[in-house]
Amino acid sequence: MNNTLKNRESERGGAGVKALCVFAVIALIGHAGYNYIPVAYGAETVKTDMNTAVLQGMALPGKLNVVENVKARIQRTFSQNDVRPDVILDVKQSGNTVTARVAYVKQVNILPFGI
C-alpha cells in the first residue's frame, strides 16, 4: 500500500513550471512598472507646473495679457519635461479665473521585446 502512494506519476515536475510562471509574471510586472512610472511622474510634474503657471499668471500686476503669459509659461514647461510639440493647449479666461487644459499622448511600451 505504501508503494502506490510514492509512485504518482501525474504529480511529478509541477513545482519548476509553477515557479517559472511566477517569475515570468513578476518580470512582466516589473518591466511594465519600470516603463510606466517615469511617464506618470512626468505627467504629474507637468500638472504641477501648469498649476504654478496659472497662479503666477493671475498674480501679475498691471495690464499684461494673462492668457498669453500663462500659455508662454506652460510651453516652457513642455520643453523642460520632454513633451511632444503636438500638444493641445487651451487657456481660457472667464471673469477672474483662468483655466488651462492640456491633452497629449505619450506611448509607453508595457510589454518587453516589442510584444
Q: Where are the domains of the chain?
A: 13-114
Q: Identify the pLDDT of residue 101.
A: 92
So what's the pLDDT on residue 94? 86
Q: What is the pTM of this model?
A: 0.72
> What's the pLDDT at 23?
95
| 84: CB partners within 8 A, 6+ apart | 104, 106
pLDDT lower than 50: segments of the chain: none
Classify burial at 31, counting beta carbons within 10 Å of its beta carbon; exposed 0-12, middle 13-18, buried 19 or more.
middle
pLDDT, position 12: 66
**Residue 5, pLDDT score:** 60
pLDDT of residue 13: 65
Q: Which three cell numbers stand for residue 114?
A: 516589442
- To which residue does cell 508595457 refer? 110
